[in-house]
Amino acid sequence: MKVHNFSAGPSILPEEVMQQAAKAVLNLNETGLSILEISHRSPEFLAILAEAKSLVLELLDLPQNEYKVLFLQGGASMEFLRIPMNLMQKGGKAAYLNTGTWADNAVKEAKAFGEVIEVASSKDMHYSYIPKAYTIPDDADYFHCTSNNTIYGTQMRSFPETAIPFVCDMSSDIFSRKLDFSQFDLIYAGAQKNIGPAGTTLIVIRERILGNPKNGLPNIMNYQMHIERESMYNTPAVFAIYTSMLTLRWIKKAGGIAAMEARNNKKAALLYEEIDHNPLFEGTAAKEDRSLMNVTFRLKDANHTEAFDTLCKTYHISGLKGHRTVGGYRASLYNALPVESVQMLIEVMQQFQRSHS
């Protein structure tokens, strides 16, 4: 049975990656050992980690001598803490753009370490748009934003210019579209949306922004320690990193980020077109800020919910429920989601319209 998986995270992975990962669970590269039982210091895993790091920089088109790649644990939420702990100076301040629940959580965590300037926020409008006019104070220690708001379905189309270190949470749209990634000094992303299974977070840092090591920083929170120990300060998430590496290979083989972007544009255009033309549905995000990754929409008449949900189930459409804090629907169109799944969802929406209007 083919299930159309629109889950926001953990989410769909390429079929090919899943098969390779399944095989490696039984026997990794004919070693007679499972990926679940090999040492993280074995030559096999060291090669996997090295390939994953090098694919990240190659796909993002970032220079090896400037950027370091880490695969750590604790989720993107742990980076909400590590970032201020490493980048905020004593008695310092940081600038944040508040565009959603995750951005808001990042703000809250940073407040424990210094002053936080919210340069702009769309909280008053249920985060339905991306604020555009704001000033980033040039005496802040860094600027933080969220490129794609997974819960609200908005995405930054352009990024501000700033002379201070630029930090971006790309958990739900990394590797989905071409950007000049060198405008960022620290990019991070929980793997479970567009890279791999839950359990590891990708962090890409321009090393020179770290400066001198901070006194009293616990090792596990210290980016410099993780760079020095090459993501092996403690046991890394071996299986999650392996599977992420397989996805990175898959992206490269498919034509890199440009190929992902072309397909993602097509999927999003098809679905937004249906949302805008089907009289029973409406989008929830400002049109100019609509996300290509997480498409949020709702039924105009909430009384239709049960019937639509039932129809979705009949056609094996899974993971369409909106985030528990906002309701409605959210179709996550990550890299691995085939166009056919979007076409199936559109057919179901059209069939629903024919039977309900």
Annotated binding site for pyridoxal 5'-phosphate: 76-77, 102, 150, 169, 192, 234-235
Backbone angles phi, psi at 259, to 5 degrees: -70, -40
Among 5, 150, 154, 332, binds ligand PLP (CB under 6 A): 150
- Tokens read off for 150: 């997974």
Among 172, 231, 247, 332, binds ligand PLP (CB under 6 A): 172
Q: Which has the closest alpha carbon to 261: 330, 173, 349?
A: 173
Cα separation of the two ends of the chain? 30
Among 49, 76, 140, 317, binds ligand PLP (CB under 6 A): 76
Give the residue numbers of the binding site for L-glutamate: 41
The answer to whether 102 is a known catalytic residue is: yes
The answer to whether 250 is a known catalytic residue is: no
**Contact status, residue 48 vs residue 241, Cβ threshold 8 Å:** yes
Among 14, 84, 165, 190, binds ligand PLP (CB under 6 A): 190
DSSP assignment, residue 25?
H
Q: Residue 180: CB partners within 8 Å, gap ≥ 6?
A: none
How many binding residues for ligand PLP (CB under 6 A)?
A: 12
- Nearer to ligand PLP by C-beta: 193 or 290? 193
Contact mark string toward ligand PLP, 83..102, x via CB under 6 A? -------------------x
Helix axis angle, 305-314 to 339-356, nearest 10°? 140
The answer to whether 193 is a known catalytic residue is: yes
Q: Bridge partners of 281?
A: 299
- Nearer to ligand PLP by C-beta: 162 or 171? 171
Give the residue numbers of the binding site: 41, 76-77, 102, 150, 169, 192, 234-235
**Contact status, residue 202 vs residue 241, Cβ threshold 8 Å:** no
Our finding on whether 331 is near ligand PLP (CB under 6 A) is: no
- Nearer to ligand PLP by C-beta: 111 or 277? 111
Site stretch for ligand PLP (CB under 6 A), options 167-175, 211-219, 256-264, 304-312: 167-175
Pairing relationship of beta strands 93-98 and 115-121 according to DSSP bridges: parallel
Element (H, E) at 91: none
| Catalytically active residues, by annotation | 102, 169, 193
